Amino acid sequence: MAWIASRYAVRSVGRNLRRTALSVVGIAVGCVLALFMESLNRGRSELFARVGASSGIGHLRVVPAGWRARRDPRLRLADWQADVAAARSLSGVAVVTARARAQVLLAMGTHVVPVELAGVDPDVEPRTFRYVQHMQQGRYLKTGDAGGLVIGQTIAERLSAGVDDDVVATAVGPDGQIQSAMLRIVGIVTTGSEDADAGVCQVARPDLERLTGLPGAGEVTLVLDEFRHAEAIRGELASRVSRGDEVLTLAEVAPEIQGHFEQDAASARFVSAIILLIVLLGVASAQLAAVLERRREFAVLSALGMSGARMVRLVVQEALLLGVAGALVALAVGLPIIWRFAHVGLDFRRYMGTFAFQGVLLDPVIYGDFGPWIVSYVTLVAIGATLAASLYPAWYASRTDPAVALRVAQ
């Protein structure tokens, strides 16, 4: 074992304590910033799942064959009741609800508004669709509530309608014939986002069946106890649903929202990379200065017969010590910050108010992710960055010409 070389590396790190401290602080600051970004990114996955669970998309959804490609709301499941029963039989499933959808024209007086009307189970729907949990005007649908309609504020304004007003709903039947029904507005939803309000238009499923002449449900939505188990439950459910029906994940149902989140994550990772690059260059500069200061010493070691590879190892070993110290400081500083970020979150309400994307209301409070991954992440980033930063100084040290250095020294 190279004990003396190791002792030499340790003591060399302690030679210029101010430079070592600055390097360690630099590594730690870079790591904490990168850690924050990573926590934010992982938190985004949780936020995406939370959005899915609360906006009616669900964590998993059973859809009819062909829906994924055509997204046609008239498609119906092969046997929705069997699918609901299969979903409810699985452990880890919190809520299961069946819906049907149709493209409908709502008209009142001279006002006509095209909407996607959802036929829902009024008893279960508020547990998967948080917008209707608190009605601002009127009330929510009830089971057996024939002809009742709940709409968003935006649709109400376009129709110039209020609670207890009657509207005419017109849809195309299965054979292409026009079918109409009179519906009464029982409640109006105001989320604070025009975009989100424009997407709220619900009746009880039997009413939609009567209006469209299409029986059954077009989707079965599942909310899970833990979104991280989605893939496993999907596999299990896929083998139990009716033939022809398929199970999709949240990302497959709402790829545009997933894309939005991924774009944000990529931007955050790019920022992390820039931060780490700056840290890396700073550490490389400090390491190179340390090597240049000890040029004569390296020349002597070379004269004594130390090989270039050993010299590289020596400098890398010193960098490794800086990396470990930087990781420890980063963990000491970063853990409380990330814990707070994960439990209290960052509230963007003051800066962006209510924010919707593609009609889905996004939560303005973002939580970071806090878990055991932090230790390995910080260790990897700190040590990886310092090792990378030490490569050039190490190579430079290994190239020290003993004769030239000794001549210069004398």
Partner 1 sequence: MSEAIVTARGLTKAFETGRQQVWALRGVDLEVQPGEFLALVGPSGSGKTTLLNLFGALDVPTDGELTVLGQAVARLSKHERAHLRLTAIGFVFQAYNLVPVLTALENVEFVLELQGADSSRRTRARAVLADLGLGELADRRVNELSGGQQQRVAVARAVAARPRMVLADEPTANLDGENAETLMHMMRDLRDRFGMTFLFSTHDPRVVAHAARVVTLVDGRVARDEITPGEKR
Name the one range near partner 1 by CB under 8 A: 11-19, 44-52, 240-248, 324-332.
Answer: 11-19
Q: At a CB cut-off of 8 Å and minimum separation 6, what does 89 contact?
A: 240
Residue 401, burial from CB neighbour count under 10 angstroms (0-12, 13-18, 19+) = middle
For residue 292, state whether it binds partner 1 (rule: CB under 8 A).
no
Min separation Cβ 394 and partner 1, Å? 16
For residue 18, state whether it binds partner 1 (rule: CB under 8 A).
no
Q: Which is nearer to partner 1, 13 or 224 (CB)?
A: 13
How do the residues of the chain divide into helix, strand and coil, expressed in percent and rounded to 5?
A: 55, 20, 25
Its sign, for the CA torsion 345, 29, 374, 40, is: positive
For residue 297, state whether it binds partner 1 (rule: CB under 8 A).
yes
Q: What element of type H or E holds 334?
A: helix 308-343
- Please state whether beta strands 148-152 and 178-189 pair in parallel, antiparallel, or not at all (unpaired): parallel
Its sign, for the CA torsion 228, 231, 234, 239, is: negative
Number of residues in the chain:
410
* Per-residue tokens: 276: 């780490």
For residue 395, state whether it binds partner 1 (rule: CB under 8 A).
no
Q: Do 227 and 46 form a contact (C-beta atoms < 8 A)?
A: yes
Min separation Cβ 9 and partner 1, Å? 10
Binding partner 1 (rule: CB under 8 A), the pick from 88, 182, 407, 408 is 407
Q: Which is nearer to partner 1, 306 or 338 (CB)?
A: 306
Binding partner 1 (rule: CB under 8 A), the pick from 300, 328, 333, 335 is 300
Q: Which is nearer to partner 1, 14 or 176 (CB)?
A: 14
For residue 17, state whether it binds partner 1 (rule: CB under 8 A).
no
- Please state whether beta strands 93-108 and 219-224 pair in parallel, antiparallel, or not at all (unpaired): antiparallel
For residue 403, state whether it binds partner 1 (rule: CB under 8 A).
yes
For residue 4, state whether it binds partner 1 (rule: CB under 8 A).
yes
For residue 366, state whether it binds partner 1 (rule: CB under 8 A).
no
| Alpha-carbon distances, residue 4 vs 44, 302, 305, 308, 394 (angstroms) | 48, 16, 15, 17, 18
For residue 290, state whether it binds partner 1 (rule: CB under 8 A).
no
For residue 310, state whether it binds partner 1 (rule: CB under 8 A).
yes
Min separation Cβ 404 and partner 1, Å? 8
For residue 2, state whether it binds partner 1 (rule: CB under 8 A).
yes
- Positions touching partner 1 (CB under 8 A) are 2-5, 7-8, 11-12, 14-15, 296-297, 300-308, 310, 401-403, 406-407, 409-410
